[in-house]
Structures are given as structure tokens and as C-alpha cells.
Structure 1
């Protein structure tokens, strides 16, 4: 059995690899070529946390797995990841565990990558301005993915804690200097979204993090942080008025994300507003953006097939490069 930590993964797998894996996994899912039960979510109210168990099987890769991931927002105050996780990968031919890897970094990588895949498929090719809401454990990979698929001049970062936004922008300016993109802390939510071509929200907010009326024509929005029915990052006006809406899994989003559950319950939209899944766009089943002026939204709650496909691709590369630690149990 192979053990892979964050540094092992980074040696063999970059964001472009992850975006390619995200596109493959979304296409597999939307074509019905995977088994992905809805995740089990256990609330841990004593610490304002949740633990989630996410299994999947992908026949084409002869691989299965389960990710155990927790979301504890207050971990940031302790200097710990707010989304700690471990990924267990199985050989689909034998059912035996072949790899355990750092699921926290895997989650960050594949979650950023799915937004990168959406931006690559749906945002304007000439996008120049980005906005990022949130600076937690998922934010760095979201930013890297945005910069990987589009040549942006500037990304404005907003957080309810201005000092945290400034520190994040400074750190990312160094870590992502190869992109030559100016990364700055936004003065306000309005400042961030003003003139933004790509907007990514990755917070734990229960209310809209930006004013949807300020979103310009042709913008693309990635909604990432809303994974429970009471969490609502996206402004209801923009959900009502977007031209195209896509999801990683329509059934999962409509079961879990307040971004859409709440406006549907209010009667502001119905399911006919949703165009389909991003995987359907990737495999050519449905159209994506067809006009420069269209406002597009991609909503993701995360599906386990992303973890299995990405983990399998990482495992393959690690074995080939002889990276990681082999153990017998």
C-alpha cells in the first residue's frame, strides 16, 4: 500500500493535470459511467463542524475509493486546515486498499480544478479580471485554477477580514508569481465584483457575498462554498437572471446547496432554469456559452467521482515516479 502526503502529490501532479482529471471525471459522471452514492454527512455541532463520507466507483479505471473529509471553519483560528481529509483508494479488481493519500490537499486540488474546468469551458476566452471571495483552505487552489485557464491581468480578493485578505493576496502574489497576474485585496465586495470576468465564491457564508446586480454581461461565476441547504453565497438576483446555469451534479446540488434550494423554495426559480451538468458540456451533449454577453454560473458541491479519478491519476504518476512510502499492513 502506498502512502502519499502533500509534498509527494505536488512532485508528480500539477493544476493542469488536476483540471484534465476534473474534466474526465465530470464527463464520466454525466454519462452515467460511475457509481456515486450521495455522501453521508454527520453534523458535529459541539465544534461547529461536519464530517462527510464520500464513496465512488469508476469502472473504466477499475478503481474505487472513499474520501473522509471534515469541514471545521474554526480550524483557521487554530492554524489548522479548515477541511482536513484522507483519501482511501481501492483496486477495483480486488477491492484491496492500494493507496492512502492526503485528502486535504486532494480536496483543495480537485475542487479548484473543477472550477478551473468550468472557467475553461464557460468563461470568455478574453477574460482579464478575476474576483475571489474567501481566503480559507480552498482559496489558493481556486485562484491557481483561475490563472491556469485564463490569462488574467488582475484578481481582487475579498474576505470579511480585510487583514486576512491582504495577507492572502501578498502570499499568493509570491507563490503564483509565474502567472504575472496582479493579486490584490479588494476594498469591498462591490469593488471585487465590479468589472470581473470570472467570479469565484469559496466561503462558508449563509448570505450572498456579492451584489448580483453589479455582475457585468459576459461574466462567469463559480459557486463553490455552499454545500448545505442553509448556506447561500450567490445573490438570488443573479441566480434568477443568469443566462446559463450548470452544475457538477444536478441531483447533488439540488439536495445540498442553499444557493439553489433557497430560491427554489421561495418560488424565485424552478428546475427548468438549470441548463444541465458541466460534464454534459464537456462530452458535447449540451451547449455551453454561445454568446459573449451571456452570464454563466457553475455550481459545485463536490462529487466523489472527482476524488477517485484524481486520486487514481495521482497514484499512477507516483508509482511510475517511485514517489511515496510503501507499507504493509
Structure 2
């Protein structure tokens, strides 16, 4: 059996390949050729935390296994990561365990890949700016993937703890604007503040690198942005609906329980298209949709499509440049298993990982 660390996973799977793997996983799911039960969520009330258990099977990719992941927000105060977990892959012909993968990095990779795929399928072709609200565990993968999907020239960051936003901005600048948690070399810190621009966004000095700014408010980040990413575990909306520009694509990747809500209900109400990974999972877990439904401003029938349906050509993505499009992600086990199987196959070919006998 092979053990794959976070570093092994990042080295094995470039983001464009991860995006293709997520596209395959979601297509197979939407075509009814994958098994992904709604995940079992166990609350850990004393820590305001959640433990998740997610089995699945994607025959087309040979992905069979289960993911365990924990989300403990109080770990920030302990100097620990908020997300921990493991993925166990099994051989679909014999049932034998093939590999154990570090799951927090796999989660960052596949969640980022989903944001990138949504950008590829739903954002305007001329999108060049992205706003990211929440600069924790999931933000690096999202920025990397969105920069891979569109020629992003400006990244605006907001976090309610400004120091965290500035630290993330420094990492992005040092890594070229989008390398996230991948291995990177240290460089000179930067603390540029965002100032609205007209015409071509200011450059940071390196060719093809997006300019990275930290804003003083979420509205300052969102205003004028072509793509807006929310990556928080907030129980209340994290920006004002009126801050969005015409033709924006909103990608919610942070909240994952019925009580969490990053997106204003008015955004869901006003959206021309609302897209999810799984209708069943979204209506069971996504407070960003469940709460507007309870408020009477949204109905499940208004979900336009699953992202896999759009990837498979069964439903249209963006049809007009002025459409407001919302993609709400809660994550599916099939995404982890297909990306995980890709990491396993490439790790074998590249000589990565540690072989162990049980």
C-alpha cells in the first residue's frame, strides 16, 4: 500500500489535470454512472466542529474508497490547521486497499479544481479579476485554479483578520499568483492595498503575474470583480448583494452545513443561473440555498443544472455576458476519489510516496 503526503499529492497532480479529473467525476455523477451517497456529518458541539465521512465509487476512473475529513475552526487559535483527514483508496477489482492519502491537501486541490472548472464553464471569457473573501485553507487552490481557467490580472483578498489576508497575499506574490500551498520559495513580503483602477490593472512587475491586493472590506473586493469566491465557514452573508457587478460569477466553496450562509439570499434570488455539484447534496447541506428556500425567496426548481451536466453538454453554461451566475459547492466524494486515484497513479509513475505493508 502507498502512503501519499500532502507534498506528494501536490507534486503528482498539476491543477489543470485536477480540473479535468473533477470534470470527469462530476460528469459521471450527473450521468448516473457514479455512486456518491450524501455524506455523514457528525457535529462536535464542544468545538463547534464537524467530522465528515464520504464513501463513493466512480467505475470509469477506478476510484473506490472513503474520505474522512474534520473541520475544527478553533484550531486557528491553537496554531493548527483547521482541516485534517485521510482518503483510503481501494482496488475496484479486488477490494484491496491501494493507498492512504493526506486529505486536507486533497480537499484543497479538488475544491480548487471545482472552482476552476466552474470558472471555465460559467465565467465570462474576458474575466480578468477575482475577489476572494476568506483566505484560509480553501483559498489557495481556488486562486490557482481560477488563474488557470482565465487570464486573471487582478486578485483582491479580504479576511476579517487582515493579517491573514496580508500573509496570503505575500504567498501569492512569492509564488507567482496562484501556487497556493504548493512548495514555493520565500521572497520579499508585499503589503499593497487595493485601489480601484480604470483600464489595465497595475502589474506587480513580473510578466503574466496577477496583481494581488488586500482590501479593507468585502464590498471593496467584490465591487467590479468578474469572479467572486467565498471561502469561509460563516453563518451570515459575507458581502452585500448590491456590490456585485453585472455579469459576475459567484463561486461559494466555504460553507457546507444547513446553518452556514456565505451568500446573501438576494444574490440567489437575483441569479440568472444557480449551479450545484449535486441537487440532492446541495438541498441537504448548502445553507446558501436552504436558508433562502426557507425564507421563500428561492425554490429548488430554480436550480439550473449540476456542473457535471454542463461539463457533459447536457445543459448550457453561461449564455449571455450580463448573466449573474452562482455556483454553490459542497463537495462530493467522487471528486476526492477521482483526483485521489489520479494522484496515486501519477505517484507510482513518478516514484513518489512511501510503500508500507499492513
Superposition pairs for residues 27-38 of structure 1, below 5 Å? Answer: 27-38=27-38
Structure 2 residue 48 is matched with structure 1 residue 84: no
Contact 2:4 2:353 in 1 (8 A): yes
What does the per-residue CA deviation read over 1:252-285, in whole Å, with 9 as the maximum and x for residues that have no partner? Answer: 0110111000010111111122101010000011
Question: What CA distance in whole angstroms lies between the structure 2 residues aligned with 1:61 and 1:146?
Answer: 24
3-state SS of the aligned residue for 1:106? Answer: helix
Question: What CA distance in whole angstroms lies between the structure 1 residues aligned with 2:110 and 2:62?
Answer: 20
Which residue of 2 is the match for residue 152 of structure 1? 152
Which residue of 1 is the match for residue 109 of structure 2? 109
Bigger shift: 7-16 or 242-251? Answer: 7-16
Cα displacement (A) at 1:171: 1.8
Which residue of 2 is the match for residue 323 of structure 1? 352
The number of residue pairs the alignment matches comes to 329
Question: What CA distance in whole angstroms lies between the structure 2 residues aligned with 1:291 and 1:61?
Answer: 34
Which residue of 1 is the match for residue 54 of structure 2? 54
3-state SS of the aligned residue for 1:190? Answer: helix
Q: TM-score by structure 1 length?
A: 0.98
Question: What CA distance in whole angstroms lies between the structure 2 residues aligned with 1:62 and 1:158?
Answer: 39
Question: Residues 314 and 213 from structure 1, CA distance in 2 versus in 1: closer, same or farther, beyond 3 angstroms?
Answer: same
Structure 2 residue 9 is matched with structure 1 residue 20: no
Which residue of 1 is the match for residue 318 of structure 2? 289
Which of 200, 211, 236 is matched with 2:229 structurally? 200
3-state SS of the aligned residue for 2:147? Answer: helix
Structure 2 gap ranges (5+): 178-205
Q: TM-score by structure 2 length?
A: 0.90
3-state SS of the aligned residue for 1:165? Answer: helix
Structure 2 residue 327 is matched with structure 1 residue 307: no
3-state SS of the aligned residue for 1:98? Answer: strand
The RMSD of aligned alpha carbons is: 1.1
Contact 1:249 1:277 in 2 (8 A): yes
Which residue of 1 is the match for residue 272 of structure 2? 243
Cα displacement (A) at 1:63: 3.0
Question: Residues 129 and 61 from structure 1, CA distance in 2 versus in 1: closer, same or farther, beyond 3 angstroms?
Answer: closer
